[in-house]
Amino acid sequence: MNDNISKVDTSTDIVYDVQGLNLWYGDKQALQDINMKISKNKITAIIGPSGCGKSTFIKTLNRMTENIPEVRTSGKILYYGDDIFAPNVRAEELRSRVGMVFQKPNPFPKSIYENVVYGPKIYGIKNKKLLMEIAEESLRRAALWDEVKDRLQENAYGLSGGQQQRLCIARALAVQPDVLLLDEATSALDPISTSKIEDLVLELKKDYTIVMVTHNMQQAARVSDITAFFLLGEVLEFGETESVFTAPQDKRTEDYITGRFG
């Protein structure tokens, strides 16, 4: 095993191999025996009713659950073959490879420029010209550059909700991750902003592996390649999005995606 997760071999097609993952909040088990392979340059959608463990699962992928007290996990999550829970793997290093975008747009109360270069700056990049290049490239990839190129020094809170969320995507991209985790990233946005982000995600798939939690069935069907259906902390269904939506194996999956519960 590699000592340093930054030097892992990224040539294989399986980015994440989750093996028998369990997670408890105190005494309450939130995830039960999750087994899942997440493929490179694919969009994996996680769907399921509220409280089924979708968000918990996605936050385990970059060890964000560690910030919550009383969380225990067992099982393995292999990231390009390396167990992310191994003692020699630092959460900070993992997160520099696995970016995250949250439900509510959460830009820092700084300028647009400062938001994007936050990551590069904490990794020690000081060269102004280089930072500007990273900012432009990240904002272009997040399809925001044309809207903000003349107001980079303005406060990010002056942007609309949809723009703020794309800024958060740009900020995550500036760290140059391989994987992007989207935790219900469009649930606080209007339909137009949502469709912009969906287009963006489809574009980003060429360079990144994307895992997205969504409450929106149509979104999962439109955007994702692979869908996982979570219920009560378990994966009931996992497979190609088309087959999950057209021919679900489990009755409960069918009930959920046809809107009978959830």
Partner 1 sequence: MDENVKWNHGFKIDIDKHRVSKRVNLNNRVKNIFAFSTLLVMVVLVVLLYDIIRESIGWLNWEFLMKNLSIFPEKAGIRGAILGTLYLMVIVIPVTLILGVATAIFIEEYAKDGLLQRMIRVNISNLASVPSVIFGLLGLTFFSRALGLGSSILAGGLTMSLLVLPIVVVAAQEAIRAVPMFLREASYGMGADKWTTIWRVVLPVALPGILTGGILAISRAIGETAPLVVLGIPTLIMKIPTTLMDDFTALPIQIYYWTLDTVLTPEYAYLAAATIVVLLITLFLLNFSAIIIRNKFQKKL
- Sites of contact with partner 1 (CB under 8 A): 62, 64, 67, 69, 92-96, 99-100, 102, 104, 106-110, 118-119, 121-123, 155, 157, 168, 171-172, 175
Q: Determine the distance from the C-alpha atom of residue 55 to the mean position of all C-alpha atoms in its chain, rounded to a whole number.
A: 10
Helices (H), the chain: 54-61, 91-97, 112-116, 118-122, 128-141, 145-148, 161-173, 191-204, 217-223, 241-246, 251-257
Amino acid in the structure at residue 207: D
Residue 247: CB minimum distance to partner 1, A: 36
Shortest Cβ 58–partner 1 spacing (Å): 11
Query: What is the closest distance, in whole angstroms, from the C-beta atom of residue 255 to partner 1 in the complex?
Result: 33
- Nearest residue (CB) to partner 1, 91 versus 132: 91
At closest approach, how far in Å is the CB of 168 from partner 1? 7
Closest contact distance (angstroms) between CB of 142 and partner 1 is: 14
Residue 143 or 188 having the CB closest to partner 1:
188
Q: What share of the chain is helix, strand, coil (3-state, %, to 5)?
A: 40, 25, 35
What's the min distance (Å) between Cβ of 100 and partner 1?
4
Q: Which DSSP string corresponds to 131-170?
A: HHHHHHHHHHHTT-HHHHTT-TTSBGGGS-HHHHHHHHHH
Task: Specify the residue, 151 or 260, whose C-beta has the smaller distance to partner 1.
Answer: 151
What are the CA-CA distances from residue 159 to residues 49, 72, 106, 163, 196 (Å)?
31, 38, 12, 6, 15
Q: 83-91 long-range CB contacts below 8 Å, 24 or more apart? A: 83/1, 84/5, 86/1, 88/1, 88/3, 89/5, 90/5, 91/62, 91/63, 91/66
By C-beta, is 43 or 182 nearer to partner 1?
Answer: 182
Q: For residue 122, count CB atoms less than 10 angstroms from its CB and return exposed for 0-12, middle for 13-18, buried for 19 or more.
A: exposed
Nearer to partner 1, 138 or 193 (CB): 138
The residue among 1 and 157 lying less far from partner 1, judged by its C-beta, is 157
**12 vs 106, beta carbon nearer partner 1:** 106
Output the smallest distance, CB 241 to partner 1, in A: 26
Beta carbons of 81 and 9 less than 8 angstroms apart: yes
